[in-house]
Amino acid sequence: MNANTISLAVINPDAPVDSLEAKQPHIDNGTECYDKQGYFSRDYMEREWERMWTRSWLIAGVESDLPAIGDFFLFEIRDESIIVTRTEQGIKAFYNVCPHRGTKLVWDERGNKKVFVCPFHSWSFTNNGELRRITDESTFQPEVICHRPGLAPVACDTHAGIIFINMDENPAPLLDSLGLPAGYLEAYQIDRMKVVRHVRSEWGANWKVGVEAFYESYHLHAVHPETRGVMGDLNVQYDLYPNGASRMIVPLGQPSPRIHDQVTVTEGLKMMLQDAGIDASGFKGTAADVRRAIQQGKRERAERLGLDYSRFEDGQLSDSWATGVFPNVQIGCHPEAVFIMRFLPHESDPERFYYDTMTLIFPADDPDYRPPLWMGLPEGIDVSGNQRPATEHYTIEEDARLGQVLSQDSALLPVVQKGMRSRGFKGQLWGEQEQRLRHFHVELERRLAQE
Ligand code: FES
Ligand SMILES: [Fe+2]
């Protein structure tokens, strides 16, 4: 049986082929079993760094974190620290290193500076990267400093309110490598959304194990059984785009097809109705009507709040469009909020990664207008967007308060990582519910094969 005949769900069979909701044409990525050494080997980790991380467009952050000139944040990946800052000429990025003796120049994670002063000998630089002042300049031989050393630039571009950097000195244009259709990310107006929580936690697995766990809904019934009453799993639509990008549409507000009771409006479904601004106690329908009711409720609420939802398909109002951007990002897209998760490699250990998540909310004058429950915001988080919270950092031993679902994943992934080490394990065997994993690996191998 080939992949064309394996039955997988289509969320909206009536979606026009050019609509963003339409099932994408099948891509044959083969059936290869990849060498498991890629999850442990330091050589492989170095090859990923040299050929992939340092040559790819990477999501460094979001535009709304840099509203004013002089605003900056640091993007840290492995041993590199990169300053991303808004200058008079737009958003720019520089290696966070002083050209004098190599000191890390900026130490604060974010802030506002028009001038960067090095903590070692106080050379200073404008936020445009130009050398501003050399301390005791007359004590230098002119040949040493006549090139007026400034900060080394990093390629930087923005798309749909998201800031990308690329350490390649001559990268292909961002839009050529993104892979997603025009209008896809733009629809969410992420440039208007505000970060309400940012967490960076360390997990005990290779970064690819993280990507893989979040690229499929196959494990929901086993690892997150509590989701069965409120979301689909077997009936998820998986789509592959060029350059390793992919998407899954997870229908929310309906029971999984794996469970028998498709009628009872459970507490979980009631909470989802409530979340959409619907009085759940007066709801007359069955479980099968909840998803549609959520869509209608959200359309009505948007109208009341003066928000234009005409650009969204009905499914975008209820479902999770989990969108993968190669190499290391998944964006959970909803009109009210997006959840940007980045899987960042550890500095030295191939069996650890950083799970970096930002929850952004669209500003609206309604107390119920919140990120969906699955994003796991703890009680008491300020969702007004008025104050950019500091990034919360958690070590591998600490509880990052990611909510039930994500805590289940963080507990499981080290077990997967360890199991893969076994002599008895020969390599991963992916089904078509895991087609995004294979698509990701095909692209990764393609990049690693490039000289
Ligand atoms: S290393 Fe920066 S001023 Fe000396
Ligand atoms: Fe999970």
Q: Which two tokens stand for residue 178?
A: 């993104």
Same domain, 144 and 248: no
Using a 6 Å cutoff on CB, does residue 133 contact ligand 1? no
Residue 176 lies in a domain: no
Same domain, 144 and 198: no
Q: Alpha-carbon Rg of the chain, whole angstroms?
A: 23
Q: Closest-lying ligand to the alpha carbon of 416?
A: 2
Residue 407 lies in a domain: yes
- The DSSP code for 402 is -
Same domain, 165 and 238: no
The pLDDT tens digits of the residues spanning 282-297 come to: 999 999 999 999 999 9
| Residue 2: band (very low, low, confident or very high) from pLDDT cuts 50, 70, 90 | low
Choose one of 118, 125, 131, 151 to mutate for the ligand 1 pocket test, by most ligand atoms within 8 angstroms of C-beta.
118
The 3-state DSSP class for residue 115 equals strand
Region 151-174: what's the mean pLDDT? 98
Distance, CA of 429 to chain centre: 25
Choose one of 139, 170, 201: the last residue of a domain: 170
Q: Are the C-beta atoms of 184 and 20 separated by less than 8 Å? A: yes
Same domain, 47 and 120: no
| Residue 4: band (very low, low, confident or very high) from pLDDT cuts 50, 70, 90 | low
Residue 178 lies in a domain: no
Cβ-proximal residues to 346 (8 Å cutoff; 6+ apart), any chain: 78, 202, 207, 352, 353, 354
pLDDT for 366: 82
Query: What gap in Å lies between CA 307 and CA 300, rounded to an integer?
Result: 10
Q: Closest-lying ligand to the alpha carbon of 101?
A: 1
Quick check: 398 pLDDT over 50? yes
Same domain, 222 and 340: yes
Q: Which two tokens stand for residue 51?
A: 């050929």
The pLDDT tens digits of the residues spanning 324-382 come to: 999 999 999 999 999 999 999 999 999 999 999 999 999 888 877 888 877 888 888 88
Query: What gap in Å lies between CA 20 and CA 180, rounded to an integer?
Result: 10
Same domain, 64 and 45: no
Quick check: 211 pLDDT over 50? yes
Query: What gap in Å lies between CA 416 and CA 357, rounded to an integer?
Result: 21
AA letter at 249: I
* CA–centroid distance, residue 138 to ligand 2 (Å): 60
* CA–centroid distance, residue 199 to ligand 2 (Å): 17
Atom of ligand 1 nearest to the CA of 118: 2
* CA–centroid distance, residue 224 to ligand 2 (Å): 7
AA letter at 35: D
| Residue 1: band (very low, low, confident or very high) from pLDDT cuts 50, 70, 90 | very low
Atom 1 of ligand 1 has which residue's CA nearest to it? 101
Query: What total number of domains does the chain contain?
Result: 2
Region 314-318: what's the mean pLDDT? 97
402-407 LR contacts (CB < 8 Å, sep 24+): 402/199, 402/201, 402/357, 402/376, 403/374, 403/375, 403/376, 403/377, 403/378, 404/224, 404/226, 404/376, 405/224, 405/226, 405/227, 405/374, 405/376, 406/376
The pLDDT tens digits of the residues spanning 87-121 come to: 999 999 999 999 999 999 999 999 999 999 999 99
Atom of ligand 1 nearest to the CA of 101: 1
Residue 23 lies in a domain: no
What CATH number should be reported for the domain holding residue 71?
Answer: 2.102.10.10
Quick check: 166 pLDDT over 50? yes
Using a 6 Å cutoff on CB, does residue 124 contact ligand 1? no
The pLDDT tens digits of the residues spanning 17-63 come to: 999 999 999 999 999 999 999 999 999 999 999 999 999 999 999 99
Q: Which of 251, 244, 203 lies closest to 372 in space, CA to CA?
A: 251
* CA–centroid distance, residue 117 to ligand 1 (Å): 9
Using a 6 Å cutoff on CB, does residue 118 contact ligand 1? yes
Atom of ligand 1 nearest to the CA of 105: 2
- Sort strands 58-62 and 329-333 into parallel, antiparallel or unpaired: unpaired
Residue 16 lies in a domain: no
Quick check: 165 pLDDT over 60? yes
Same domain, 279 and 335: yes
Choose one of 170, 205, 222: the last residue of a domain: 170
Residue 68 lies in a domain: yes
Same domain, 83 and 128: yes
What CATH number should be reported for the domain holding residue 209?
Answer: 3.90.380.10
Using a 6 Å cutoff on CB, does residue 134 contact ligand 1? no
Same domain, 265 and 322: yes
Atom 3 of ligand 1 has which residue's CA nearest to it? 121
Choose one of 170, 203, 227: the last residue of a domain: 170
Query: What gap in Å lies between CA 236 and CA 315, rounded to an integer?
Result: 12
Question: Residue 245 sits in which domain range?
Answer: 36-54+183-449
Same domain, 88 and 110: yes
Residue 5 lies in a domain: no
Atom of ligand 1 nearest to the CA of 122: 3
Instruction: State the chain's mean pLDDT as an integer.
Output: 95
| Residue 5: band (very low, low, confident or very high) from pLDDT cuts 50, 70, 90 | low
Same domain, 223 and 116: no
* CA–centroid distance, residue 238 to ligand 1 (Å): 51
Residue 17 lies in a domain: no
Same domain, 45 and 121: no
